[in-house]
């Protein structure tokens, strides 16, 4: 069967893949699947969002479900509202960190977590069979505008941190939502917590004129420069729908997601006296080391935010995280949440009284090299099986692809879920060792590929 959903909802280029007609039909399929409401419908600030939202709403209403239109909001705020308002589920019009021409549809259940693959396949089955519920004219669903969901969402975040302590620390912060919906919450939260707040790229704009919606070392040039020039303590950046957060230290240095996650793990384990921590298998050993040092228990999963959220809930964990800046803080909600992650980091700075660069310096040191090797989708599974066979004398972890534990570190070889490539991650104690391990990993992939194709 054809698939519409990728690893993180349905995504495509507006008016080419993701058209008004498509949105209407997917709305009908989702309504047919859910059967009852209320279903929340919200959107991020992307181009075409309003067109798609209105079409999805029309489709949902035609199946008889009631909907609540919650308007513009970060993805985690809509997920939070789904739970708070006892909704049957929510449809979010977003394409997260994708380039500006993209938009998409994400479906979450009553707990705010993205629906499972089995549920997605059921919606796809309805979509491709055109087998929609089409109710009698008297039974068409009701439309209601949602209240101020951002207020309740922000209050939940504020309740999870010690605002007085943050206020006393007199932090100066620069917030860069990248013209995305994070600008609707994070600068207000930092201001509420008494931080001197400066914003850049904080006007909502679906064309993303300020920078790419993906926050990384390259796209955050202005944030790095601003933090350093005005003498701020920290820079905070989100992706387009603000479910992720990354940081810049007071010297203008970009902090990778696994390092900032490691700091929040230390903080959370100290506060809780231990607890379960969930992260995908690709995350740096920095996290493993601090979990062990601070008396926690590490649970690793396949790569993907949905699986981290589900596992965190299942194992009753305290915090989850991803190397791309996904922070899942269980006391607030199980899904990743950019604004929550930002406020936790400010609280940690206030608790320790140390600079962000100092805190990062104290973390264990590891070096990673990431490589891509092209591989047709049809070969991926065979290749991974071949690798497992060729590596049977090594210590392996096959949670997601093949992770090989070597003397000086590890190599993870896994198939991309969205592109015809194999990813090879290598990590070691020095840059040189990491590069050697990476070369070994890439050679392993190429050798196995050769064996398969001769």
Question: Is 38 or 326 the residue whose CB approaches Mg ion more closely?
Answer: 326
E strand or H helix at 32, and its extent?
Answer: helix 20-34
| C-beta of 92 vs 349, nearer to Mg ion | 92
Shortest Å, Cβ 322 to Mg ion: 11
- Strand, coil or helix: 82: helix
Cβ atoms of residues 137 and 61 within 8 Å: no
In the set 62, 96, 202, 219, the catalytic residue is 96
3-state DSSP call for residue 148?
coil
Residues 6+ apart with CB under 8 A from 136: none
Nearest to Mg ion of 258, 427 (CB atom) = 258
Assess contact for 9 and 107: CB atoms under 8 A.
Answer: yes
Is 450 exposed, middle or buried (CB count within 10 Å of its CB: 0-12, 13-18, 19+)?
Answer: exposed
Per DSSP, the residues of 359-426 read HHHTSPP-EEEEEEEE--HHHHHHHHHHHHHHTTTSEEE-SSSEEEEETTEEEEEEE-SSSSEEEEEE
Cα–Cα distance measured from residue 446 to residue 119, given in angstroms and rounded to the nearest whole number:
37
The distance of closest approach from Cβ of residue 363 to Mg ion in the complex, given in angstroms and rounded to an integer, is 25
Q: Which is nearer to Mg ion, 87 or 95 (CB)?
A: 95
> Does residue 221 contact residue 237 with C-beta atoms inside 8 Å?
no
Q: How far is the CB of 246 from Mg ion (least distance, A)?
A: 12
Smallest separation, CB 324 to Mg ion (Å): 9
> 97 vs 380, which CB is nearer to Mg ion?
97
CB of 166 to Mg ion, least distance (A): 25
List interacting residues with Mg ion (CB under 5 A): 96, 239, 241, 243
In the bound state, the residue with its beta carbon closest to Mg ion is 96
CA dist., res. 41 & res. 71, Å (int): 7
Q: Residue 361 Cβ, how far from Mg ion at the closest point, in Å?
A: 29
Pick 146 or 213: Cβ nearer Mg ion: 213
Active-site residue flag, 62: no
How many whole angstroms separate alpha carbon 342 and alpha carbon 450? 46
**Helix, strand and coil percent figures for the chain, each rounded to 5:** 40, 25, 35
Nearer to Mg ion, 241 or 427 (CB): 241
Cβ burial, residue 368 (10 Å; 0-12/13-18/19+): buried
Q: Is 160 exposed, middle or buried (0-12, 13-18, 19+ CB in 10 A)?
A: middle
What is the smallest separation between the CB atom of 94 and Mg ion, expressed in angstroms? 7
Catalytic residues: 96
């Amino acid at each position: 069967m054809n698939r519409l959903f990728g690893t993180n909802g349905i995504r495509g280029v507006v008016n080419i893949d993701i058209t008004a007609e498509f949105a209407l039909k997917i709305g009908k399929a989702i309504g047919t699947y859910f059967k009852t409401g209320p279903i929340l419908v919200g959107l991020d600030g992307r181009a075409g969002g309003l067109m798609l939202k209105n079409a999805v709403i029309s489709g949902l209403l035609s199946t008889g479900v009631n909907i609540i239109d919650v308007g513009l909001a970060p993805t985690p705020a809509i997920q939070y509202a789904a739970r708070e308002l006892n909704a049957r589920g929510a449809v979010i019009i977003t394409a997260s960190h994708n380039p500006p021409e993209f938009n998409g549809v994400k479906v979450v259940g009553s707990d705010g977590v993205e629906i499972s693959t089995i549920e997605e396949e059921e919606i796809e089955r309805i979509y491709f069979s055109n087998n929609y519920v089409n109710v009698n004219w008297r039974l068409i669903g009701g439309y209601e505008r949602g209240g101020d969901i951002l207020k309740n969402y922000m209050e939940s975040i504020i309740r999870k941190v010690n605002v007085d302590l943050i206020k006393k620390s007199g932090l100066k912060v620069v917030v860069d939502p990248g013209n995305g919906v994070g600008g609707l919450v994070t600068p207000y939260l930092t201001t509420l917590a008494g931080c001197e707040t400066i914003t850049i790229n904080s006007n909502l704009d679906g064309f993303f004129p300020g920078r790419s919606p993906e926050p990384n070392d390259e796209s955050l040039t202005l944030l790095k420069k601003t933090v350093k020039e005005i003498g701020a303590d920290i820079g905070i950046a989100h992706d387009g729908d603000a479910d992720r957060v990354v940081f810049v230290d007071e010297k203008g240095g970009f902090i990778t997601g696994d390092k900032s996650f490691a700091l929040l793990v230390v903080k959370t384990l100290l506060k809780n006296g231990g607890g379960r921590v969930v992260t995908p298998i690709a995350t740096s050993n920095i996290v493993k080391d601090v979990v062990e040092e601070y008396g926690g228990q590490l649970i690793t999963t396949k790569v993907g935010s949905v699986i981290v959220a589900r596992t965190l809930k299942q194992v009753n964990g305290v915090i989850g995280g991803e190397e791309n800046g996904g922070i899942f803080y269980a006391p607030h909600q199980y899904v990743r949440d950019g604004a929550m992650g930002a406020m936790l980091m400010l609280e940690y700075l206030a608790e320790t009284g140390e600079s962000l660069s100092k805190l990062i310096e104290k973390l264990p040191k590891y070096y990673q090299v990431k490589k891509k090797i092209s591989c047709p989708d049809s070969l991926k599974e065979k290749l991974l099986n071949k690798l497992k066979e060729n590596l049977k004398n090594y210590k392996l972890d096959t949670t997601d692809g093949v992770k090989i534990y070597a003397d000086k570190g590890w190599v993870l070889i896994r198939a991309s879920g969205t592109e015809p490539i194999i990813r090879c991650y290598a990590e070691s104690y020095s840059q040189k060792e990491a590069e050697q391990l990476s070369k070994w990993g890439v050679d392993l992939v190429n050798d196995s590929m050769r064996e398969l194709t001769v």
